[in-house]
């Protein structure tokens, strides 16, 4: 038996102080009576500190019993793998902050490009920085023939994510000098902020070009070369051929809406797909290669793939009168309800209010979509049902986010790729942070840099029970 206490518990029970973020944790191992004092910093302990807690060796005992205490945490339910200054998601209060800027402020006053810059480089860009960022993105947007051929080699009705994976492999093959093992140099990016920043630009533009190529291939459209005078989002729509028929330019209303929606999706802290990217990146792999893990993870039903599955579930139901029987099946564990509940949030997803407000800008288009009535009915019933309310299960951004895309005219099968593309700046920010790149001098974050400057290979352990 292991007994745990801390230096501040008594004070909390006496009502003297609130819960601090630092202090000391006392551990009493009742197997041998030993006491240990572990440092608490930022409301966390170092997992390696637990290795000093070990039992006395016994005849015939497994080596794991004397090698130090491990934390068994299936699914990383309560495990932090790094410290970060990028995004804070408060699942209790229902708030999101990017670099200490509230999501509401960024949503209301800044463009997607500005927020992407903020996430990656730690401060909102000046006018000159914005222009340079945009110019660099556009310059890298045109895909090489090798990449285009990789995408078009698939049947047009192939799963979109599989074409993206092939395209990423083609990008890596196109520039082998950017792949550490192919270049014979493990330190291509370590300590080289210039190369890291160039790689971030290339990766964001490569994913944008791939999404456009896939969309064009799906719909038998010609790929349109990017226009240096247009924004990143405008060029994505232009390359996709998602333009107004009269002048062949992106609809300003669609551009404005994506600018808002993508701010909401720009980052979400240590998600499964971000962690998948960083897991591969810990080997010092290049970011294009790491993106294959990011895309594969995002396609999964329990992650971003929930967006596709939520919409497909609405299609299967068809009409609101079929919602109640489906809810009963969910409660009986016969069916999984996508778009409802979130591992982090114990209250309403803070992005949901903004998404609903955006849908109000397209009342007729939304009303004409019969599946929106299905989603509304799901939300209505679930929000009043004890099964959901007692478990603090609320609607999340997946439930309504797909309707913004369909209101703009996008087909359901491209929604997942667009969502993952919008999230990429956050992933790039985490990669930059993980390899210890300092913030620019103009960023206040440089004053409080806490990131370990030496990347470490992510190699989890197991508890052997055979």
> Any idea which residues carry the catalytic annotation?
342, 398
The structure tokens 């979130």 sit at 342
**Cα–Cα dist 132/150, whole Å:** 30
DSSP 34-80: EEEEEEEBTTB--GGGGGG--PPP-TT--GGGTS------GGGTT--
Q: Which two tokens stand for residue 36?
A: 């240990």
Query: What is the DSSP pairing of strand 2-6 with strand 23-29?
Result: antiparallel
Dihedrals φ, ψ of 102, to 5°?
Answer: -65, 150
Please list the residues that pair with 41 across neighbouring strands: 44
Burial 209-231 (b: 16+ CB within 10 A, else e): bbbbbbbbbbeeeebbebeeebb
Q: Which two tokens stand for residue 459?
A: 């190699």
Neighbours of 320 (CB within 10 A): 18
- Inter-helix orientation angle 193-218/127-139, to 10°: 60
Burial 327-342 (b: 16+ CB within 10 A, else e): beebeeeeeebbbbbb
**Cα–Cα dist 396/438, whole Å:** 34
The structure tokens 């209101």 sit at 407
Residue 269 burial (C-beta neighbours within 10 Å; 0-12, 13-18, 19+): middle
Closest CA to 100 of 116, 122, 127: 122
CA atoms 41, 44, 49, 53: torsion sign: positive
Query: What is the DSSP pairing of strand 34-40 with strand 23-29?
Result: antiparallel
Q: Which two tokens stand for residue 106?
A: 């960024």
Residue 411 burial (C-beta neighbours within 10 Å; 0-12, 13-18, 19+): exposed
Q: Which 3 state secondary structure label does DSSP give 197?
A: helix
Secondary-structure breakdown of the chain: helix, strand, coil percentages, each rounded to the nearest 5:
50, 5, 40
Query: What is the DSSP pairing of strand 101-102 with strand 2-6?
Result: unpaired
């Amino acid at each position: 038996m292991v007994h745990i206490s801390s230096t501040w518990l008594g004070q909390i029970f006496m009502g003297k102080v609130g819960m601090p973020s630092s202090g000391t944790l006392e551990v009493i191992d009742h197997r041998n009576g030993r006491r240990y004092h572990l440092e608490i910093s930022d409301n966390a302990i170092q997992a390696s500190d637990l290795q000093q807690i070990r039992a006395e060796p016994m005849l015939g005992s497994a080596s794991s019993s004397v090698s130090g205490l491990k934390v068994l945490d299936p699914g990383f339910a309560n495990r932090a793998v790094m410290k970060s200054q990028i995004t804070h998601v408060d699942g209790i209060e229902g708030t999101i902050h990017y670099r200490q800027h509230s999501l509401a402020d960024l949503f209301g006053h800044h463009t997607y490009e500005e927020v992407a810059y903020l996430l990656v480089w730690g401060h909102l860009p000046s006018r000159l920085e914005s222009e340079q960022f945009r110019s660099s993105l556009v310059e890298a947007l045109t895909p090489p023939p090798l990449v285009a051929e990789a995408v078009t080699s698939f049947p047009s009705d192939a799963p979109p994510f599989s074409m993206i994976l092939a395209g990423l492999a083609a990008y890596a093959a196109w520039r082998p000098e950017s792949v550490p093992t192919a270049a014979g140099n493990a330190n291509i990016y370590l300590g080289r902020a210039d190369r890291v920043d160039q790689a971030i630009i290339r990766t964001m533009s490569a994913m944008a070009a791939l999404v456009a190529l896939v969309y064009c291939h799906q719909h038998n459209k010609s790929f349109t070369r990017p226009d240096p005078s247009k924004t990143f989002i405008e060029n994505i729509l232009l390359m996709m051929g998602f333009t107004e028929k009269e002048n062949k330019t992106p609809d300003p209303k669609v551009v404005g809406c994506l600018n808002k929606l993508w701010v909401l999706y720009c980052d979400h802290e240590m998600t499964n797909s971000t962690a998948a990217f960083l897991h591969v990146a810990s080997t010092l792999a290049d970011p294009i290669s790491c993106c294959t893990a990011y895309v594969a993870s995002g396609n999964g039903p329990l992650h971003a793939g929930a967006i596709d599955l939520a919409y497909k579930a609405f299609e299967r139901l068809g009409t609101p009168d079929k919602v109640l029987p489906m809810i009963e099946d969910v409660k009986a564990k016969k069916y999984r309800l996508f778009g409802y509940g979130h591992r982090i949030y114990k209250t309403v997803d803070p992005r949901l209010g903004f998404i609903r407000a955006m849908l109000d800008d397209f009342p007729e288009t939304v009303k004409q979509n019969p599946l929106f009535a299905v989603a509304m009915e799901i939300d209505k019933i679930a929000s009043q049902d004890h099964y959901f309310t007692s478990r603090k299960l609320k609607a999340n951004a997946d439930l309504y986010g797909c309707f913004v895309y369909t209101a703009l005219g996008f087909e359901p099968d491209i929604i997942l790729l667009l969502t993952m593309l919008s999230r990429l700046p956050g992933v790039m920010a985490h990669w930059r942070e993980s390899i210890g790149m300092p913030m620019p001098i103009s960023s206040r974050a440089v004053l409080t840099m806490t990131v370990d400057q030496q990347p470490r290979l992510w190699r989890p352990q197991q508890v052997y029970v055979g």
